[in-house]
Structure formats: C-alpha cells, structure tokens
Amino acid sequence: MATLRDVARKAGVSISTVSHVFNGYDDIPAETRKRVWDAARELDYHPNASARSLVSRRSNLLGLVVPGRAGMRHPFLYAVICGVAEAIAGTRFGLTLSVAEDDQRSLREQVNRWKEQRLEGLIAMGFAEDHPVAQAILESGIPAMLVDTILESPRVSWVKSNDTEGAAQAVRHLLSLGHRRIAYIHGLGGQICQERLDGYRLALSEAGIPFDPQLVEVADFTKSGGYRAMNRILSRANPTAVFAASDLMAFGAMECLRDRGLRLPEDMAIVGFDDIDAASHVTPALTTVRQFGDRMGKEAAETLVAFLEGRIEKPHPSLVGTELVIRRSCGYSAKPYSMMA
C-alpha cells in the first residue's frame, strides 16, 4: 500500500508539500498540486478526507443547487449534472445535492446548512435573476457559478446558452419556409426568457415583419402551460407556425393543435427549444434548438474549481453555442447546422 512518502518521491517534492496539497493550502503552485495529485492517482493513494477537512477547515465539497422538487423533473437538469460530474472527476472535490425552496424560513436554513457543511463553492441552475435563491447565493459570500442565471460578483459568475441567436435561428428557419404569421410561446422567467423573445423579434425585424403582440403568449415551461398558451393564441389569431421557448411547451402546443383538428406539419409548423430526448420521439419529430447542458455544466464546474484552486483570479462568464436540429415538425428535413457563440 502506497504511503505519503511514496507520493512525495514520485512527485519529486517533500512530504510536507504533499501534506499541504492534500490539506488544500494555498501556498503550493498549481503545477505542483497537479503533479502531486497525478502521483497519488497513479499510486492509488487516497488521503483521508475527514482528517484533511479537520486540519484544513476545508470540506472539499461543492454544492449543486437545484429548484424545488418540481424543477428537478426537467430533462435539461440531468444533462447539466452529467457535465458537472465529468468536470470534477479526478479533482479533490465531491458533490452534494441541495434542493432549494424559496420561502424565507427554508431559505435561511438552507444557507446556514451550506455554511455548516463548509461548502467551498456552489453550482446553481434553474433560477431567475430575481429569485430569492439566486439572491441568497449572491449574498452568502460562497463562490458560485450559475447556469442560465446572469449574476456576477467578484466570487460569482455564470454560464448560459446563446439564447438570442438560438431563438433567432429557429424563427429564421420558419421564415425560410415561407411563414410570415409566426406565433411565439414565451417562457416566464429571467434574462434567458427575455433573450429568447429578443431573438424572435430580431428575426422578424430582419425579414421586415412587424412584431404582433397578438401572436405572443406567456407560459411556464410545462406541457400544460404550452397547451393553454397555444389555445389563447388560436382564440385571437391565425398563425401558420409557432415557436415555443422550450420543448415541453412545444409538446403542449402540439397536443392543443391536434385537439383543434389541425395537422402537423401540414396545417401548422412548430419549433421548440432544448432538444430533450423526447423531441426526436414525438410525432412528428420536433425541430428544435439544441442546448448543450452537459457542456454548460462542465464549463461551470471547471471555472469554479479553477477559481477555488487559485488558477484564475475570479470566475468568468461563458456563452455556449446552440444548434438548430431540423426534423419533421416543420415539414422539412435537413442536416443540423451549428450556431456557435
């Protein structure tokens, strides 16, 4: 069985340097830390996590913060978590799950638990900028990376999709097929929702088509919300195509259209946003804007770890490109093409 001395010898450093690396001290250069951890992995040496935590007062834990139990059901969440897990594999960090509710008492208790657990950093997703949980993270002083939430401080930053361009490309595709009356089911939330609306309006403006508020309806990123929004639009307008700000809302719109006796895509073309797994299995298969949740999670975790290890001075924002995936719901088949940020 390998010892601390074996790791030191293989890494070419002193035993005290190895001890400092394992205990998370900041006085060791990043290159040396990497050499020590590489040596430990090669020798299959596993320092005692509890002992390290007691000595260094560091937990070596990151908290993954997600919305209440209902929010956890969204398929996009799984992709982000996979990216986070990939990024921290082989680092000194473990991961804990924190399901955050937004009532003030529960939120205070949650923040206290983060501090009691001595979480070194947080990765949060699914919160609008003005959501109490997002604000609590910002005020907690704990370093954090937010997914789809644009907030910044010296210890907090974000990663998100290029939502404006992704939405614009979806609408441009419908315009290229001859549609001029394009409805939009607008998501209810923070900055990402506004940017998708901006992309919708941008594409219309480029084509010289005036914005018509009668063609826009707000929903809550659920299938039932998409159904109700589509129903309200059809009660007052006659679009030939619809763009929804999420695939789940697009599925609801598709169901509403069928219940009204309309055929897809013959009577109505439809485009979603996310490209969750089910998008390729509905009938007709859904044209949609693909988000790379795994890439976003990986980018968020890598940035946070780099900051905690002192390799960067502050967390930095990242914009991740999207991809329009064209399927049968628009009555047209073609290969996907990328829209990178």
Instruction: List the domains of the chain with CATH numbers.
Output: 4-56 (1.10.260.40), 61-161+293-320 (3.40.50.2300), 163-292+323-339 (3.40.50.2300)
Does residue 251 contact residue 218 with C-beta atoms inside 8 Å? no
Query: pTM of the prediction?
Result: 0.78
pLDDT value for 196:
97
32: helix, strand or coil: helix
137 is written with which tokens? Answer: 């993270």
Q: Inform me whether the pLDDT recorded for 50 exceeds 70.
A: no
Higher pLDDT, 92 or 197: 197
- The phi and psi torsions of 12 (rounded to 5 degrees) equal 75, 35
- The phi and psi torsions of 237 (rounded to 5 degrees) equal -145, 165
The DSSP string of 213-268 is GGGEEEE-SSHHHHHHHHHHHHTT---SEEEESSHHHHHHHHHHHHHTT--TTTT-
Instruction: Give the separation between CA 183 and CA 165, rounded to whole angstroms.
Output: 18
Does residue 32 contact residue 19 with C-beta atoms inside 8 Å? no
Phi-psi region of 179 (alpha: psi -120 to 50; beta: other; left: phi over 0): beta
Note the helical H segments in 141-185: 163-176
Residues in the chain: 341
- Residue 299 binned pLDDT confidence (cut-offs 50, 70, 90): very high
Instruction: Give the separation between CA 181 and CA 240, rounded to whole angstroms.
Output: 6
pLDDT value for 214:
97
Q: What percent of the chain has pLDDT over 70?
A: 90
**Strands 322-325, 287-290: parallel, antiparallel or unpaired by DSSP?**
antiparallel
The torsion of the CA quartet 9, 15, 19, 22, rounded to 10 degrees, works out to: 0
- Residue 25 binned pLDDT confidence (cut-offs 50, 70, 90): low
